[in-house]
Structures are given as C-alpha cells and as structure tokens.
Amino acid sequence: MSDEKHPFLHDLSKHRGSPSTVIVIFGASGDLTARKLIPALFNLSLDSLLPNDFYLFGFGRKTMSKEEFSELTVTSILEHSRRPLNQEVWARIQQNIFFETGDYDDLQAFKALHNKIQTIENNLGRNIQILFYVSTPPSVFKPILENLGKSGLASKHRGSPLASKIIVEKPFGRDLSSAKELNRIISKEFTEDQIYRIDHYLGKETVQDLLVLRFANSIFEPIWNLKYVEYVEITVAEDMGVAGRAGYYDQSGALRDMIQNHMMQLLSLVAMEPPISTKSEDIRDEKVKLLKAIQPLNLKLQGGDVVRGQYTEGLIHGDKVVGFREEKGINPHSWTETYVALCLNINNWRWNGVPFYMRSGKRMARRVSEIAVHFRPAPGSLFKESNKFDLAQNTLVIQIQPDEGTTLLLNSKVPGLETIIQPVKMHFRYATTFGSNTPEAYERLILDAIIGDSTLFIRGDETEVSWNLYSPILESWQSAKDHGIETYTAGSWGPVAADLLLAERKHAWRKPGF
Ligand code: NDP
Ligand code: BG6
C-alpha cells in the first residue's frame, strides 16, 4: 500500500477505511505522550480519522489504573491539544483505553499485554492490527524489542496485512555502532516495512511543502545548484531550556537530539536530487544518496567545521534564566552540548563547494526554524554608481516555524527621482492563505503508520549513513580540551566561535525570522 499513494496529496478517504487498530504506547506516562501523542489521537478522532475499532494501551513502570490513565489523557488534551476537548468524541475513545504496568525488561508484563489484546480480538471475533509506539528514552528500546519478540507480540499476524507495526522514536541509537545494533535487533523481530523510525520534522506541513516548493514549481530547479547558490543556512533555534527532560537531555545533547535527525532531514529535502516519483522508496533513495555525498568534517577545534556550545545564565525575553549546569537534574559539571553549528560540503555535481551551514541550540534568542538559500550576487555593476548601498543578495527564506511561510528577498527601486535601491521582501504566509489551524506533525505520522505509508519515516540505512558522519564528531569531543565546549549566554544566538565559523568563509548568519 505504501508505494501506491501520493504522499503529498493526502487522500483522507483511505484513512477512513483504516483497519481496526490497537496502539500500545511504551513510556505512556512521559512528556511526549502527554504533549504530542494523546493530543494527536484526539484530533484524529475529532476528524473521524481513527479506525472505527480503536484501542489504546498505555504501558509503563508506574502503577496506574485504567481510569487514572484515561484521566491523564483528558488532562493532556486540555493542556496541549490544538483544538478544545470534545468530551463526547473522546468519551467514545476512553471506553477503549487501558493501562498495563510493567518493567520494560519484564517478559511477564508483555505476555499479560498479549493476553489482553487477544481477549479484545476474541470479543471482536476477528484479528486486529497492533501498532507499538516506543516513546521511552533510547536506553530501554532494546529490552522492549526483545520482549516484543519473546512474547509473540511482534510476530502477531505476521505475513498478513494486519501484521504488527512498530514506531520507534528518535534518536535512533547513540552513535554508529549502537544504531547498527538497534537495526540488527529490530530487524530480528520486524521486517523493514513494519518499522516506522519517526522523525516528527517530516510530518510538519512546511517540511513537506519543501518538496512541493522545489518540484512543483519550475522556477527553482534551474537555479538550485552551485552556479547560482552561494551558501545555505539551516537554523533550528529554541528559546526553551531542557524543560523537565534533564535526565534524557544530559545523556543526549544537541547533536544527538537535533542535528543527527531533524536537521539532517531538512538538509536532505533541500539538497537531494529530484526523486523519480513520490513513492516512499524513491524519496528515501535520494535522501540516502545525498547523505553519502557529504564530506567528512574537519574536526579541528580552531578553524574546523564544527562548533559545540553550552548556555550559561542569561535573559530570555527579558526574564532571567539559569545556565545549563544549574538546571534541575543536570550534572553541575556536565559537558553536554546544548548548541551545535557546522559547515557541510556536499561533494556532488550540484553542490560541491557550496557551504551548508547548520545550527541548532536551546535557550537561543527566540524560537525559529528556517532555511535560507542565499543566491550569488547579481553580476556586473550596472547600479554601482547611482546606488547608495550595496545590493542585497537574493535570499529565499523558508520559515519552518513559527509564522510558517516563504519569503524572497529582492532588490527594488525606491520610488523617486534618484535611483536608490533597497531590499524588499515578497511574503507568503500559511496562516494568511490557508488559515492557522493546521494538523500537527504527529497527527499525520500516526495516521500514516496506521495505514502503512512509510514515506515520511526513516529507513534503516539512512540512520546509519547519518551516524557515519556524526559519530567521529562525538568521539573527537571526548578527547578535546574542555570537551570542545564553547559557552554562550542564554538569550543570544550562540557562541562567538559559531560566528567565526562563517566569518572565516566570508559569510555571516542571518538574523532569523526577519
Ligand atoms: P520521558 O523522559 O518523559 O520518558 C518517557 C517515559 O519513559 C517515562 O514517563 C517513563 O515511564 C519511561 N522512562 C523514563 N526514563 C526511563 C528509564 N531510565 N528507564 C526506563 N523507563 C524510563 O521522555 P519523552 O516522553 O520526552 O521522550 C520519549 C522519546 O520521544 C525519546 O526517545 C525522545 O527522544 C522522543 N521525543 C521526545 C519529544 C518531546 O518533545 N518530549 C519530541 C520528539 C521526540 P514509566 O516510568 O512509566 O515507565
Ligand atoms: C525533539 C527534541 O525531537 O524536538 C526536543 O527532543 C526539541 O529537544 C523538539 O525541543 C523540537 O520540536 P519542535 O517540533 O518543537 O520544533
């Protein structure tokens, strides 16, 4: 089924006929479940996009009754849903909400879960698809996968259209060897078409629109190459800190949390060759080809391609915030990075020599994610004499979030008798054109997994190619002086060294969002 439908022109009628499904969330008491997964399920139910027979099992170590978990889902909708709670709609789902308490390495708990799902099937009088959602810290992915295998849950209905599926959250592994090991374990229990390695950035409207922008418009492709593009910037800046996820974040850091996955997806979609079709395998093939063309990075601390940073205390929107090492739950001597900037070179015919700068950090000046494609300056000096200013470089800015849209920076003549040229902006804003209440990424992705469309998920080899690039960076930091950490003040745009990274190449970061 996955290869037949057009991923960007979603045919919702197919979802309306989706198979009866049980979703089992491992880590159901956690942050992601509360903030994203439950609200996504609620919004899908509001649009009648969940299967008619739909069941939800929370699984976790916490002792929780069915009623308590059900109550938790209501709180999560009230606090995090993009649309208000509709009690009537959610009450229908609540009838089928359950919770299974158990350790992730406790086989008996998995067997008990299996029995309960079997009882549901017996009562329905037919088989049902099971979708496992692994929403725990990566440290417990392995026991979960092993117990899904041993309990027979993974192999349930194998070989039939109702074969079990699994969604695995990022980060997929901690480095190349652990990603390989995870791929090995997961593929012992599930075939590749049953595995959905999620990267929620691929479910964002603006990220999907990147392919539409590039390949449904004829004006960009001829100039989307080294002849016309001077450099590209990809920024994912967050103003929040570790936000109650200290345990996870201090073990992870910005490179594992954002760069290896979300940022690489953005880069792939901006830079890959046109796929021969929108079938999932064709798009994934192009992404892998692109990742393989990225050159190994220069890991020198001074004058290299990578900058690692950690925030110190500062002001966010005027309010004082503590430094990373003073955050609750963070080791006061932590060397974990909260910021990474790097310069990549893609060695292929389209891009060789065009720097792709990427940066992502916590506690930066504001929350903004954007891709800026800077075109080479107009040749010649036609306006040099008359113009009072340097001509601005044409830049195409794709704003991923917030205030989603696209802006093109052009030069224009200021009305008047003199020839004065000034940069102006052509704006397209989603909210103005389409209204603002667009579905969240997780709605789209959960729905796709239910119907078996893997286009917007990551293939196993893609994770390994990406780690192949980043594992050496992690290793180099371990032996570097001060672990290669530069500091930056919370509320700034990152360490000074990140400005130098571009300055050495005669470029400068854009002030995002402007
Ligand atoms: P949490 O830290 O909230 O953990 C989720 C649940 O996992 C906890 O409620 C707990 O459940 C269980 N758990 C936590 N630590 C351990 C441990 N050391 N051993 C065993 N079980 C543990 O994580 P999140 O919900 O934030 O993230 C879950 C996954 O989703 C991660 O892989 C993360 O990278 C990914 N993700 C998170 C996002 C977010 O915004 N939160 C966004 C995108 C991806 P219990 O005690 O009940 O067993
Ligand atoms: C998650 C990271 O994957 O993405 C978080 O674990 C980060 O640290 C989040 O805050 C950002 O997602 P979004 O959709 O808010 O840009």
Tell whether 150 is covered by a domain.
yes
- In this structure, the residue with its CA closest to atom 14 of ligand 2 is 201
Question: Does 445 sit in the ligand 1 pocket, CB within 6 Å?
Answer: no
- Token pair for residue 439? 């579905």
How far is 360 from 491, CA to CA, in rounded Å? 13
Query: Structure pTM?
Result: 0.92
- Token pair for residue 199? 């990267």
- Token pair for residue 37? 């997964």
Question: Does 440 sit in the ligand 2 pocket, CB within 6 Å?
Answer: no
* Gap from CA of 258 to ligand 2 centroid (Å): 7
Could you give phi then psi for residue 347, rounded to 5 degrees? -90, 75
Atom of ligand 2 nearest to the CA of 400: 16
* Gap from CA of 429 to ligand 1 centroid (Å): 34
Same-domain check for residues 210 and 115: no
Tell whether 53 is covered by a domain.
yes
Pocket test residue of 26, 29, 31 for ligand 1, highest count of atoms within 8 A of CB: 31
Question: Does 60 sit in the ligand 1 pocket, CB within 6 Å?
Answer: yes
The 3-class secondary structure across 252-319, one letter per residue, is HHHHHHHHHHHHHHHHHHHHCCCCCCCCHHHHHHHHHHHHHCECCCCCCCCCCCEEEEEEECEEECCE
Same-domain check for residues 274 and 371: yes
Question: Does 32 sit in the ligand 1 pocket, CB within 6 Å?
Answer: yes
Question: Does 245 sit in the ligand 1 pocket, CB within 6 Å?
Answer: yes
What DSSP designation does 202 have?
G
pLDDT in single tens digits along all 514 residues of the chain:
333 343 433 455 555 567 899 999 999 999 999 999 999 999 999 999 999 899 999 999 999 999 999 999 999 999 999 999 999 999 999 999 999 999 999 999 999 999 999 999 999 999 999 999 999 988 899 999 999 999 999 999 988 889 999 999 998 999 999 999 999 999 999 999 899 999 999 999 899 999 999 999 999 999 999 999 999 999 999 999 998 889 889 999 999 999 999 999 999 999 999 999 988 899 999 999 999 999 999 999 888 999 999 999 999 999 999 999 999 999 999 999 999 999 999 999 999 999 999 999 999 999 999 999 999 998 867 887 766 667 889 999 999 999 899 999 999 999 998 888 889 999 999 889 988 778 899 999 999 999 998 889 999 999 999 999 999 999 999 999 899 999 999 999 999 999 999 999 999 999 887 6
| Amino acid symbol at 449 | A
Same-domain check for residues 289 and 150: no
Q: How many domains does the chain have?
A: 2
Domain range spanning residue 435?
202-503
Distances in Å between the alpha carbon of 17 and those of 5, 22, 50, 89, 166? Answer: 15, 15, 9, 18, 20
Please answer whether residues 55 and 90 qualify as being in contact, where contact means their C-beta atoms are separated by less than 8 angstroms: no
* Gap from CA of 357 to ligand 2 centroid (Å): 20
- Token pair for residue 483? 């672990």
Q: Which of 124, 144, 169 is the last residue of a domain?
A: 169
Same-domain check for residues 268 and 394: yes
Q: Which ligand is nearest to the CA of 39?
A: 1
- Report whether the peptide linkage leading into residue 402 is cis, meaning its omega lies within 30 degrees of zero: yes
**Looking at the DSSP assignment, which residues form a beta bridge with residue 428?**
406
Question: Does 238 sit in the ligand 2 pocket, CB within 6 Å?
Answer: yes
How far is 326 from 269, CA to CA, in rounded Å? 37
Same-domain check for residues 164 and 209: no
SS3 39: helix
Distances in Å between the alpha carbon of 464 and those of 175, 179, 182, 260? Answer: 9, 6, 10, 10
- Token pair for residue 449? 């997994």
Q: Are strands 368-375 and 229-237 parallel, antiparallel or unpaired?
A: antiparallel
Q: Which of 169, 194, 229 is the last residue of a domain?
A: 169
| Amino acid symbol at 347 | N
Could you give the angle at the alpha carbon of 318 between the alpha carbons of 316 and 323, nearest 5°?
40
How far is 157 from 161, CA to CA, in rounded Å? 8
Could you give the angle at the alpha carbon of 185 between the alpha carbons of 181 and 186, nearest 5°?
115
Whether the CA torsion 339, 342, 348, 354 is positive or negative: it is positive
SS3 98: strand
Same-domain check for residues 114 and 213: no
Q: Which of 120, 144, 169 is the last residue of a domain?
A: 169
Same-domain check for residues 225 and 148: no
Pocket test residue of 82, 258, 363, 364 for ligand 2, highest count of atoms within 8 A of CB: 258
Q: Which ligand is nearest to the CA of 168?
A: 1
* Gap from CA of 260 to ligand 2 centroid (Å): 13
How far is 109 from 104, CA to CA, in rounded Å? 8
Tell whether 65 is covered by a domain.
yes
Confidence at residue 14, expressed as pLDDT on a 0 to 100 scale:
53
- Report whether the peptide linkage leading into residue 171 is cis, meaning its omega lies within 30 degrees of zero: yes
Confidence at residue 5, expressed as pLDDT on a 0 to 100 scale:
40
Same-domain check for residues 234 and 124: no
Same-domain check for residues 254 and 374: yes
Tell whether 508 is covered by a domain.
no
Tell whether 278 is covered by a domain.
yes
Torsion of CA 485, 486, 488, 493, to 10 degrees: -100
Tell whether 180 is covered by a domain.
no
- In this structure, the residue with its CA closest to atom 6 of ligand 2 is 257
How far is 131 from 250, CA to CA, in rounded Å? 30
Q: Residue 169 class from Cβ within 10 Å (0-12 exposed, 13-18 middle, 19+ buried)? A: buried
Question: Does 169 sit in the ligand 1 pocket, CB within 6 Å?
Answer: yes
Atom of ligand 2 nearest to the CA of 238: 10
| CATH code of the domain covering residue 162 | 3.40.50.720
Q: Which ligand is nearest to the CA of 169?
A: 1
Please answer whether residues 353 and 333 qualify as being in contact, where contact means their C-beta atoms are separated by less than 8 angstroms: no
Tell whether 177 is covered by a domain.
no
Tell whether 328 is covered by a domain.
yes
Same-domain check for residues 280 and 413: yes
- In this structure, the residue with its CA closest to atom 13 of ligand 2 is 201
The residue count for the chain: 514
Whether the CA torsion 374, 379, 385, 386 is positive or negative: it is negative
Confidence at residue 244, expressed as pLDDT on a 0 to 100 scale:
83
Annotated active-site positions, please?
Answer: 262
Q: Residue 221 class from Cβ within 10 Å (0-12 exposed, 13-18 middle, 19+ buried)? A: exposed
Same-domain check for residues 75 and 117: yes
Same-domain check for residues 241 and 353: yes
CA contacts within 13 A on the Cβ side of 62: 14
| CATH code of the domain covering residue 299 | 3.30.360.10
Could you give phi then psi for residue 427, rounded to 5 degrees? -110, 140
